[in-house]
């Protein structure tokens, strides 16, 4: 038996290394220098992320097929690179959000930003591997950071509740995920997706119940992370209880990472599971959309509303996941486009919530937004753009993203699921537009969000930057989708 | 044709105006006045361009004119492709004509959130014009849905007491229909293998008739809700009653026509076989709509609601004409779309004028006001007679042509529809009698002012058109007929031979086959 040292492509590891080193640096800086200078830590975190994004984009230019390092534990293809950029962009935007939320100042800020970077590392690991165990490790790094972040405001009961709930349920989900991986290992003798696929290809007997159960348990574990029904119970409570900046962070990045891992599994191995697996995904997608949208209708708290909305959006992305078998590259590209738009519009919406709260704490009741269209016209108009985009109406990115995903699904032959999805988006229009109703069609009630807190306080430059980036992203991706579409479809081919 | 991108200018000038308004502060009186002037300038500019287009329109050519095309999303075969023919031209003129009028009407009527109001109207105009000129499904859909939001704001912010309910209902109804159309569009894209969203390409390459049924149903449902065809009309009375006057005028004048236009431009010629199979069903619904709308209009106490239900009735004529599948019916339908826009637009404006004086629209609150407001009454009578279809006024020409077409197709539908004309005379004249004439004006009504200069300016152009189109419709008919004939050839063709690469089943990857395709 010979031992070979697996190949390592160091340049392609660079983005990951930068983020890890950056995370440690942020943590250490805070510890050793006892720096209370939050602005510096924010700037450092942003620089780390921007640098890593730059490196990733740079390495995409001459990336032909992709490289495999550590025997498949780390794969860097265009798909990886795009998801990296996406995850780091989402982290970047949510750091901007956090920079404007002053209440996060209380425990020293260094930990906060270090945790964001560690979580980012975990997400990147999940997205850049074809090894099941690495997916699990990435997921754990992410989850542990998120548990802490969810309860970051330790003096608040709601935050503690959110963190505990998230932790308990998350631990279960991780257990299921690991159990599923063990079963797949049992059925196929490998944790490497390429090996698994090879084994399944040559041994039809291995595609039996153990393999299917393993796959099913993986669906449970990842389904928990993306908040697919029926693994969604934590979402509203955690989204509501966590600080808004954290909610913004966990509504996008972790979803992107978990879906990226999901796509890799589905594209590489799940094809052998046959029609029954597709039926399961079909049903999960259908109920996820419906539960999310119907649940959102009756919410009175904007964070809970956005939580249910994020469940619904997970349902739409599941449609793309389902379509990945049949229209492969197009569905993958659709997913990438969708999650990119989603990052802009969702973080943007949470961002408005943070700014609307001003320095007095959080203002999260939908009623608080009454008449905001006239007391703070700019902020309300921006929020309206995000709502229209979340609802999937043209001419915003949300529409093009849905268009992309639904195209892929129709190409793959899932016409009825698409019919269900579009009817769901009609339901969603009701609650997204309700915010516009409250902002524009109701008179201010006296406790409204006043104009004098518009863009004041510490986070002024961040406020402008974040709102500008997100609005430009949402509108740009809606009006001129051509360039990005070419880019995502180039990024949709996975290395085997 | 023209080297200048006239259509693009026409469509996007209002949008540009709306964006300019973003930088105008409307906190004080002067700022509001500025906002009004700016939006009027842009709306008039769009109107001037549409007149230039009208003058440059070639009557000897039935196809699309003033074409402009640029790649937009090449990956999906989506392009910015616009153009117009004799079917869309009258509707475009109607849109650019009505928008400055409602802006003028709102000059003094709307004092709340003036800037946002003007912006909503301008964005709405761009959306409506875009729908009429789009020759690409994607572009069409973007305008089609994009226009919902300004209309939603118009109803919801400046509407009556139940405005929010009405606005949401309007939005959800329309949206529910149009998303199914989106699915059908996507299916069409993949199933035909044409790899393009260009409407012209799809029009020349009809899909196999085995597939037409579902696709036609999805398109037609979307448009039937918009028209609105009975039994999808329930959003209309709510929206009309709650909308501000300008919203009602635009809604009745233009938005409803987008439904009939959609049937005419897309649903019927794309799926001619299915359209012919469904024709009787549509004619039945149209006739029900004509009679039902008229009967319900008869019992309304609210003038605005009466006019709203009369729209259901009048739009039924348009659908009847379209599904008659003959030249008379098609030409009459286009004409009726324009006529209804003019006469119903005028009626809503008149109702708005009296409402702003009395703050009620109930028929019982009026009576005998012809004595105090003679000028108003003259305009009201003319507009009502035009709506009824009195010979010599515009309504007659369109309705008569449609009825002739319907008789040609099937006398029974013709007879039934004609009863709608009689009923419309009943409800309109009865209303006129109760509002304008019957008895002495009450004390409070005696102090009503007659029309001011601004209101004259709003109404005179409409009345001129009523007489103009009623006495001499040729300038507009001559534009419509060649395109209507071309349209008729399209919807009457038989699709039995399959020569194009069109298979009865969509060529889609089979789901559940377990293969992972990587093209």
Cα A133 to Cα A136: distance, rounded to the nearest angstrom: 5
Is the pLDDT at A273 greater than 90? The verdict is no
Is the pLDDT at B97 greater than 70? The verdict is yes
B514 → closest Cβ in A272, A373, A407:
A272
Is the pLDDT at A294 greater than 90? The verdict is yes
Q: Is residue B504 part of a domain?
A: no
Residues of chain B with C-beta less than 8 angstroms from the C-beta of A426: 172, 175-176, 179
pLDDT value at residue A309: 93
Q: Do B516 and A422 touch (CB under 8 A)?
A: no
Q: Do B516 and A324 touch (CB under 8 A)?
A: yes
| Contact criterion met (CB below 8 Å) for A396 and A481 | no
Tracing tokens 């993949």 back to the chain, one arrives at: B190
Q: How far is A220 from chain B (nearest CA, A)?
A: 21
Q: Do B157 and A410 touch (CB under 8 A)?
A: no
Residue A173 token pair:
């989900």
Residues 108-127 on A with a CB inside 8 Å of B are none
Q: Do A328 and B186 touch (CB under 8 A)?
A: no
A384 vs B159, more confident: A384
pLDDT value at residue B510: 39
Residue A283 token pair:
């049903």
Q: Do B509 and A419 touch (CB under 8 A)?
A: no
**Chain B residue whose CA is closest to A332:** B518
**Chain B residue whose CA is closest to A197:** B516
* Nearest C-alpha neighbor of B213 from the set B277, B130, B144: B277
Please report, for chain A, the start and end positions of each structural domain, with discontinuous segments joined by +: 10-490
Residues of chain A with C-beta less than 8 angstroms from the C-beta of B168: 430, 433, 437
Cα B98 to Cα B125: distance, rounded to the nearest angstrom: 10
Q: Do A267 and B516 touch (CB under 8 A)?
A: yes
**Chain A residue whose CA is closest to B159:** A441
Picking from A437, A439, A475, A483 by the largest number of B CB atoms within 10 A of its own CB, the best residue to mutate is A437
| Contact criterion met (CB below 8 Å) for B223 and B267 | yes
In this prediction, residue B200 has a pLDDT band, given cuts at 50, 70 and 90, of: confident
Tracing tokens 């229909």 back to the chain, one arrives at: B177
Residues 141-200 on A with a CB inside 8 Å of B are none
pLDDT value at residue B274: 87
| Contact criterion met (CB below 8 Å) for A142 and A123 | yes
Cα A278 to Cα A31: distance, rounded to the nearest angstrom: 50
B75 → closest Cβ in A374, A433, A485:
A485
Facing residues of A291 across strands?
A: none
Residue B74 token pair:
């090449």
B142 → closest Cβ in A267, A394, A436:
A394
Q: Do A433 and B171 touch (CB under 8 A)?
A: yes
Q: How much is the pTM?
A: 0.91
In this prediction, residue A34 has a pLDDT band, given cuts at 50, 70 and 90, of: low
Q: How far is B276 from chain A (nearest CA, A)?
A: 25
Q: Is residue B512 part of a domain?
A: no
Q: Is residue B1 part of a domain?
A: no
Q: Is residue B69 part of a domain?
A: yes
Q: Is residue B248 part of a domain?
A: yes
pLDDT value at residue B517: 35
**Chain B residue whose CA is closest to A484:** B73
| Contact criterion met (CB below 8 Å) for A288 and A312 | yes
pLDDT value at residue A1: 52
pLDDT value at residue A390: 94
Is the pLDDT at B507 greater than 50? The verdict is no
For residues A25-34, give the mean pLDDT: 81
Q: How many CB atoms lie within 10 A of CB B242?
A: 24
Q: Do A430 and B146 touch (CB under 8 A)?
A: no
The rounded percent of chain A whose pLDDT value lies above 90 is 42
Is the pLDDT at B501 greater than 70? The verdict is no
Mean pLDDT of chain B: 86
Is the pLDDT at A440 greater than 80? The verdict is yes
Q: Do A326 and B146 touch (CB under 8 A)?
A: no
Q: Do A429 and B171 touch (CB under 8 A)?
A: yes
In this prediction, residue A274 has a pLDDT band, given cuts at 50, 70 and 90, of: confident
pLDDT value at residue B131: 94
Number of compact structural domains in chain B? 1
Q: Is residue B510 part of a domain?
A: no
Is the pLDDT at B1 greater than 60? The verdict is no
Q: Do B146 and A418 touch (CB under 8 A)?
A: no
* Nearest C-alpha neighbor of A360 from the set A457, A443, A442, A292: A457
pLDDT in tens, A300-331: 899 999 999 999 999 999 999 998 887 778 88
- DSSP readout, B365-392? G--STTTT-HHHHHHHHHHHHHHHT-TT
Q: Do A412 and B168 touch (CB under 8 A)?
A: no
H helices then E strands: how many in chain B?
22, 2
* Least confident range of A82-96, A205-219, B105-119, B497-511: B497-511
pLDDT in tens, B427-470: 999 888 888 887 777 887 788 888 888 888 889 999 999 998 88
Is the pLDDT at B293 greater than 50? The verdict is yes
Residues 6+ apart with CB under 8 A from B457: B104
In this prediction, residue B223 has a pLDDT band, given cuts at 50, 70 and 90, of: very high
Q: Is residue B275 part of a domain?
A: yes
Structural domain harbouring B100: 6-491
Q: How far is A33 from chain B (nearest CA, A)?
A: 47
* Nearest C-alpha neighbor of A488 from the set A403, A396, A390, A404: A404
For residue B341, give the 3-state DSSP assignment. Answer: helix
Residues 388-417 on A with a CB inside 8 Å of B are 388, 393-395, 399, 403, 406-407, 410-415
A122 vs A99, more confident: A122
Q: Do B511 and A489 touch (CB under 8 A)?
A: no
pLDDT in tens, B421-437: 899 999 999 888 888 88
pLDDT value at residue B495: 54
Residues 422-461 on A with a CB inside 8 Å of B are 422-423, 425-426, 429-430, 433, 436-437, 440-441
In this prediction, residue B513 has a pLDDT band, given cuts at 50, 70 and 90, of: very low
Cα A52 to Cα A50: distance, rounded to the nearest angstrom: 5
Q: Do B163 and A272 touch (CB under 8 A)?
A: no
Is the pLDDT at A85 greater than 90? The verdict is yes
Cα B339 to Cα B330: distance, rounded to the nearest angstrom: 14
Residues of chain A with C-beta less than 8 angstroms from the C-beta of B141: 394
For residues B102-126, give the mean pLDDT: 88
Picking from A215, A410, A416 by the largest number of B CB atoms within 10 A of its own CB, the best residue to mutate is A410
C-alpha distances in angstroms, B292 versus A480, B251, B385? 46, 20, 20
Q: Is residue B118 part of a domain?
A: yes
Q: How far is A207 from chain B (nearest CA, A)?
A: 12
Q: What share of chain B is helix, strand, coil (3-state, %, to 5)?
A: 75, 5, 25
pLDDT in tens, A386-425: 999 999 898 899 999 999 999 999 888 888 999 999 999 9
Cα B89 to Cα B58: distance, rounded to the nearest angstrom: 11
Residues of chain B with C-beta less than 8 angstroms from the C-beta of A433: 152, 168, 171
A106 vs B236, more confident: B236
* Nearest C-alpha neighbor of B161 from the set B361, B301, B309: B361
Q: Do B163 and A271 touch (CB under 8 A)?
A: no
């Amino acid at each position: 038996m010979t031992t070979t040292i697996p190949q390592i492509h160091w340049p392609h590891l660079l983005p990951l290394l930068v983020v890890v080193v950056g995370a440690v640096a942020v943590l250490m800086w805070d510890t050793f220098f006892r720096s209370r200078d939050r602005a510096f830590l924010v700037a450092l975190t942003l620089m780390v992320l921007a640098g890593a994004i730059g490196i990733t984009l740079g390495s995409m230019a001459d990336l032909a097929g992709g490289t495999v390092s550590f025997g498949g534990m780390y794969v860097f293809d265009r798909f990886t690179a795009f998801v990296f950029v996406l995850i780091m962009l989402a982290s970047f935007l949510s750091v901007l959000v956090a920079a404007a939320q002053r209440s996060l100042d209380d425990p020293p800020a260094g930990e906060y930003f270090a945790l964001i970077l560690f979580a980012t590392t975990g997400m990147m690991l999940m997205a850049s591997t074809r090894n099941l165990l690495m997916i699990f490790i990435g997921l754990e790094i992410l989850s542990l950071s998120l548990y802490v972040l969810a309860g970051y405001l330790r003096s608040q009961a709601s935050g503690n509740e959110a963190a505990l709930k998230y932790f308990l349920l998350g631990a279960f989900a991780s257990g299921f995920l690991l159990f599923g991986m063990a079963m797949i290992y049992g059925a196929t003798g490998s944790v490497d997706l390429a090996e698994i696929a090879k084994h399944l290809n040559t041994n039809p007997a291995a595609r039996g119940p153990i393999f299917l159960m393993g796959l099913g348990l993986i669906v449970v574990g990842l389904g928990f992370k993306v908040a697919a029904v029926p693994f969604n119970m934590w979402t509203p409570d955690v989204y509501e209880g966590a600080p808004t900046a954290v909610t913004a962070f966990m509504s996008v990045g972790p979803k992107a990472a978990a879906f990226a891992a999901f796509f890799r599994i589905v594209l590489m191995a799940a094809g052998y599971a046959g029609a029954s697996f597709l039926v399961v995904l079909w049903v999960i997608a259908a109920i996820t959309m419906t539960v999310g949208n119907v649940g959102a209708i009756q919410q009175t708290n904007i964070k809970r509303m956005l939580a249910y909305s994020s469940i619904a959006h997970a349902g739409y992305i599941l449609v793309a996941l389902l379509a990945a078998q049949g229209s492969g590259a197009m569905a993958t590209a659709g997913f990438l486009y969708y999650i990119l738009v989603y990052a802009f519009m969702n973080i943007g919406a949470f961002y408005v919530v943070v700014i609307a709260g001003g320095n007095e704490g959080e203002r999260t009741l939908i009623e608080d937004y009454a008449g905001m269209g006239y007391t703070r016209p700019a902020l309300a108009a921006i929020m309206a753009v995000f709502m229209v985009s979340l609802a999937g109406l043209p001419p915003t990115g949300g529409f093009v993203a849905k268009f992309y995903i639904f195209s892929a699904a129709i190409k793959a032959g899932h016409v009825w699921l698409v019919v269900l999805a579009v009817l769901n988006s009609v339901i969603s229009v009701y609650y997204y537009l309700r915010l516009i109703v409250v902002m524009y069609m109701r008179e201010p009630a006296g406790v409204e969000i006043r104009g004098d807190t518009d863009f004041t306080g510490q986070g002024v430059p961040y406020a402008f930057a974040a709102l500008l980036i997100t609005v430009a992203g949402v509108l740009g991706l809606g009006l001129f989708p051509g360039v990005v579409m070419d880019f995502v479809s180039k990024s949709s081919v996975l290395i085997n | 044709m023209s080297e200048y991108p006239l259509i693009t200018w026409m469509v996007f000038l209002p949008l540009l105006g709306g964006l300019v308004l973003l930088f105008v502060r409307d906190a004080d009186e002067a700022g509001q006045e500025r906002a009004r002037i700016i939006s009027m300038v842009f709306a008039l500019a769009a109107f001037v361009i549409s007149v230039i287009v009208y003058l440059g329109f070639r009557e000897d050519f039935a196809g699309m004119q003033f074409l402009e095309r640029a790649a937009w999303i090449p990956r999906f075969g989506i392009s910015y492709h616009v153009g117009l023919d004799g079917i869309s031209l009258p509707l475009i003129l109607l849109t650019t004509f009505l928008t400055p009028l409602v802006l003028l009407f709102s000059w003094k009527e709307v004092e709340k959130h003036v800037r946002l109001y003007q912006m909503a109207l301008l964005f709405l105009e761009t959306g409506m014009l875009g729908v009429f000129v789009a020759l690409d499904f994607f572009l069409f859909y973007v305008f089609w849905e994009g226009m919902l939001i300004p209309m939603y704001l118009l109803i919801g912010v400046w509407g009556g007491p139940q405005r929010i309910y009405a606005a949401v209902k309007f939005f959800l109804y329309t949206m529910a229909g149009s998303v199914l159309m989106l699915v059908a569009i996507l299916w069409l894209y993949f199933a035909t293998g044409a790899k393009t969203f260009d409407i012209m390409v799809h029009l020349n390459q009809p899909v196999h008739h085995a597939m037409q049924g579902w696709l036609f149903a999805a398109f037609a449902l979307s448009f039937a809700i918009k028209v609105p065809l009975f039994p999808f009309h329930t959003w209309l009375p709510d929206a009309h009653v709650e909308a501000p006057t300008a919203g009602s005028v635009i809604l009745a004048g233009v938005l409803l026509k987008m439904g009939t236009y959609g049937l005419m431009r897309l649903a019927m010629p794309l799926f001619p076989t299915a359209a012919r199979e469904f024709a009787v069903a549509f004619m039945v619904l149209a006739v029900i709509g004509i009679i039902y709308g008229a009967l319900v209009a008869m019992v309304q106490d609210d003038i605005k609601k009466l006019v709203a239900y009369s729209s259901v009735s009048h739009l039924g004529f348009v659908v009847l004409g379209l599904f008659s599948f003959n030249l008379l019916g098609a030409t009459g339908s286009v004409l009726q779309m324009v006529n209804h826009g003019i006469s119903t637009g005028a009626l809503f404006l008149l109702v708005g004028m009296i409402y702003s004086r009395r703050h009620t629209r109930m028929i019982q609150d009026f009576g005998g006001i012809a004595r105090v407001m003679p000028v108003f009454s003259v305009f009201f009578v003319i507009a009502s007679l035009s709506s009824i279809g009195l010979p010599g006024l515009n309504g007659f020409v369109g309705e008569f042509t449609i009825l002739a077409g319907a008789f040609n197709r099937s006398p029974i539908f013709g007879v039934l529809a004609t009863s709608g004309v009689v009923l419309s005379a009943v409800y309109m004249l009865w209303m006129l009698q109760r509002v304008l004439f019957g008895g002495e004006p009450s004390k409070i009504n005696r102090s009503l002012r007659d029309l001011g200069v601004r209101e004259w300016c709003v109404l005179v152009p409409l009345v001129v058109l009523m007489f103009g189109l009623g006495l001499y419709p040729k300038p507009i008919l001559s534009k419509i007929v060649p395109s209507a004939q071309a349209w008729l050839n399209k919807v009457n063709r038989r699709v039995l031979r399959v020569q194009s690469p069109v298979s009865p089943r969509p060529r889609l990857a089979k789901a559940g086959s377990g293969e992972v395709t990587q093209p």
